[in-house]
Amino acid sequence: SVFSVNVLRLQSDTLSRFPETRLARLLHCQSKESILELCDDYDDTEKEFYFDRNPALFPYVLNFYNTGRLHVMAELCIFSFSQEIEYWGINEFFIDSCCSSAYHCRKMDQDREDWEDRSDEGSTTSSFDELLEFYNDVTKFDKQLLGSARRRVWLMLDNPGYSVASRIISILSILVVLGSIATMCMNSMSEFSSLLDSEGQPTEDPRFETVEHFGIGWFTLELVARFVVAPDLLHFFEHPLNVIDLVSILPFYLTLLINLVVDSTPALANLGRVAQVLRLMRIFRILKLARHSTGLRSLGATLRNSYKEVGLLLLYLAVGVSFFSVMAYTVEKEDNEDLTTIPACWWWATVSMTTVGYGDVVPVSIAGKLTASACILAGILVVVLPITLIFNKFSLFYKRQKQLEIAMRSCDFDEGIKEVPSVNLRNYYAHKVKSLMASLSNMSRSSPSEHSLNESIH
């Protein structure tokens, strides 16, 4: 694919019409070193310049210098053609009108496919890495005492659906979580919270207290069992689900400790308020359902990897709330007692832009109602735009999580490690290469030649 181009075959004034292109810049080179910065090789004897480029695309470059317009053949790869004209320093502005529309449409389609491939690549890469991490954890049991039995218990506890026993444990754990949350909610009802002890102090319903103690015992047993059979004890609490398990039982034991301290030291009676706050932290037990729900784990992964989209959504809302709160304050401050300050208008604008519409604060003037209408319409647009991106990511992570679970359940470790779980390495490698090519393309697009060419045109 190496070929020579003799610049003397083109008139110098023809090249000078486009001074920022690569061939025209060769006219101003005074040394061999400067020439080699623009071409791959140079024959001083024959005055020939060598470029290691695709020879099939170079006739379009020559035609550009002769006619001043760039044409694109339908069978050419848009990605390769775009890289080629960037190399020669030719701006897309010179593409003729007969080809411009088709070229940009195909390029937009290619960019959309690249975005989808990058999303799929993230999904494939993460699945591959998580599957290898899972397999690496499983192999650690081979060098441990009672490794085979511990591995079987670990798989049963950490992978719901791996076996019949794991499904039974998963269902029981879900029932205990739901029962614990239900008793906490019912305990706040007046029908059950009016019980008094022998000293006239409020006390819990004994039935709810029994359910609570059973739940704490079950959650503690789960956590201790997982910790004992974990393949790596030092990194056990680096897993988010294990941290959730710890947080779900920690308030109970801290409350127990605080009550013991208060009983022994009356001067620390104010610590009882801390115990009441800790009791409310029992609501975090609902997060334990993430261990048994693919959707909740996918939602967590989506939020963790969509911080840019979430930040964009919050930014849009902040700008809209600031703008419409000032507008509402300006038109309503004399007629509406509820909108006499800008901070008070923030609440109204937030409720309106998120389309909640409590109705506790409403504009009364015609100008205020028009402002409210614009605020609601803007809120719909602001919320919808980033939500689409977040939903697409959620779909990808959910698909990835399901594939990962299927791959984990298909592994048979009853007789030791036989083979690595199947992973499509071809697709994994292809995604990596495409990501590299896209990165190189973005780097080339950011080169200053395009900007300088635009300046020379104007």
Spatial contact of 286 and 177, defined as CB atoms under 8 Å apart: yes
| pLDDT of amino acid 336 | 82
Domain ranges of the chain: 12-95, 147-292, 298-442
- CA 56 to CA 81: how far, in whole Å? 10
Query: What's the whole-model pTM score?
Result: 0.54
Total H helices, total E strands in the chain: 18, 3
**CATH code given to domain 298-442:** 1.10.287.70
The encoded tokens of residue 30 equal 């005074």
Query: Strand 48-52 to strand 41-43: parallel, antiparallel, or no bridges (unpaired)?
Result: antiparallel
For residue 197, the Cα-to-chain-centroid distance in whole angstroms is: 52
Q: Decide: 219 and 176 in contact? Cβ < 8 Å.
A: yes
Tokens of 10: 């083109």
- The closest of 218, 273, 275, 220 to 247, measured between CA atoms, is 220
pLDDT value of position 109: 60
Indicate left, alpha or beta for 161 from its phi (over 0: left) and psi (-120 to 50: alpha): left
β-pairing, 2-5 with 48-52?
antiparallel
Contact between residue 127 and residue 136 where contact means Cβ atoms under 8 Å apart: no
* CA 86 – CA 438 distance, rounded (Å): 14
CB 348, CB 340: distance < 8 Å: no
Strand 2-5 versus strand 41-43 pairing type? unpaired
Pick the CATH number of 12-95 from 3.30.710.10, 3.10.110.10, 3.30.470.20, 3.20.20.70: 3.30.710.10
- How far is Cα 334 from Cα 245, in angstroms, rounded to an integer? 54
Contact present, 322 and 338 (Cβ < 8 Å): no
SS (H, E, C) 393-428: HHHHHHHHHHHHHHHHHCCCCCCCCCCCCCCCHHHH
Distance of alpha carbon 153 from alpha carbon 142, whole angstroms: 14
Using alpha carbons, list the distances in angstroms from residue 39 to 28, 49, 87, 363: 14, 7, 11, 69
Q: Residue 448: what pLDDT?
A: 42
What secondary structure does DSSP assign to 226-256, as a single string? HHHH-S-GGGGGGSHHHHHHHHHHHHHHHHH
- 12-95 and 147-292 agree in CATH topology: no
Give the DSSP per-residue string, 108-143: HHHHHHHHHHHHHHHHHHHHHHHHHHHHHHHHGGGG
The torsion angles phi and psi of 41, rounded to 5 degrees, stand at -160, 160
Please give the chain's pLDDT, 458 residues, in tens. 333 444 435 677 777 788 888 888 888 888 888 888 888 888 888 777 888 887 777 888 888 888 888 887 766 677 777 788 888 888 877 887 787 777 777 666 655 555 445 544 444 444 556 666 766 777 777 777 787 888 888 878 877 777 788 888 888 988 988 888 888 888 777 777 666 666 666 677 778 888 888 989 999 998 999 888 888 888 888 888 888 888 888 888 888 887 777 666 665 556 656 666 677 777 778 888 887 777 887 888 788 778 888 888 888 889 999 999 999 888 888 888 888 888 888 999 999 988 888 888 888 889 888 999 999 999 888 888 778 778 888 887 788 777 777 766 665 555 444 444 444 545 555 555 555 555 545 544 444 434 433 443 33
Given a contact cutoff of 8 angstroms between Cβ atoms, the answer to whether 123 and 110 are in contact is no
With 0-12 CB in 10 A as exposed, 13-18 as middle and 19+ as buried, what is 127? buried
- Distance between the two ends of the chain, CA-based, in angstroms? 36
**Hey, what CATH class is 147-292 in?**
mainly alpha
- The residue among 353, 394, 388 whose CA lies nearest residue 374 is 353
What pLDDT score does 221 carry?
A: 92
Phi, psi of 414, rounded to the nearest 5 degrees: -65, -30
Pick from 411, 374, 422, 434: nearest CA to 117? 434
Tokens for 386, please give them: 């980033």
DSSP codes joined into one string, 141-192: GGGSTTHHHHHHHHHHHHSTTSSHHHHHHHHHHHHHHHHHHHHHHHTTSHHH
At 266, phi and psi to the nearest 5?
Answer: -60, -25
